[in-house]
Structure 1
């Protein structure tokens, strides 16, 4: 017999500077973490011997898609003002998220705002996508399926 599991976004929690992320946008990509580089690269010499170089790059971009009425959207605007005013490491803040069902997710103590969202108005509400950046993303180890 096969092993059955289930997924629900209700089991995913995210925090930004110690506050719960609220008002996520609809869809399958409300939070996306993209590693900054491959974990390594291979090279094969002229004689056919190979070597694998393991990357020290632990950077990541974190996309957070929010509703324009989200308290987290407002908080990120405040963080952006601070980042622009300070222009230093003091503007960094922690971010983490976890799916308690699968243990997938990760954390970083020092995240910066890389891209602020467009401010678009029209017939219907539209997404506000913030892109955060960190040099040190620490992914969690998923549970066994």
Structure 2
């Protein structure tokens, strides 16, 4: 058992030395805004805001007014930031972020008719060129 632990330790140290950093996933932990996928769902879901029932006002109240944009008269988008993981090593500590956008489609009476989610992920540019801060309006 000791030799197995020693072998694993040697492999891990070797990888850190060779690679410089190791990736530790954080499984899309929300770091800014609210994860709308936990709140909004299909008409058959058990989520509090459902297609065919939720109003624009209810959706905006549940998610807050920050990070919203209107794309058309009846279409609105909401963004939140996630942390996909961390690059950690002797000389590095770099968070890897992503942005999720949920776009809502409402009818003329303000009832939610559809929604979809798009994703943008920083795929490891180690110098921060993919920083999503410019996507968020901090009013």
TM interval, shorter chain, is: under 0.3
Output the TM-score relative to the length of structure 2.
0.27
Greater relative CO (CA pairs within 8 A, separation 6+): 1
Output the TM-score relative to the length of structure 1.
0.26
Q: Which has the higher strand share?
A: 2
Q: Which has the higher helix share?
A: 2
> Which structure would you say has the larger Rg?
2
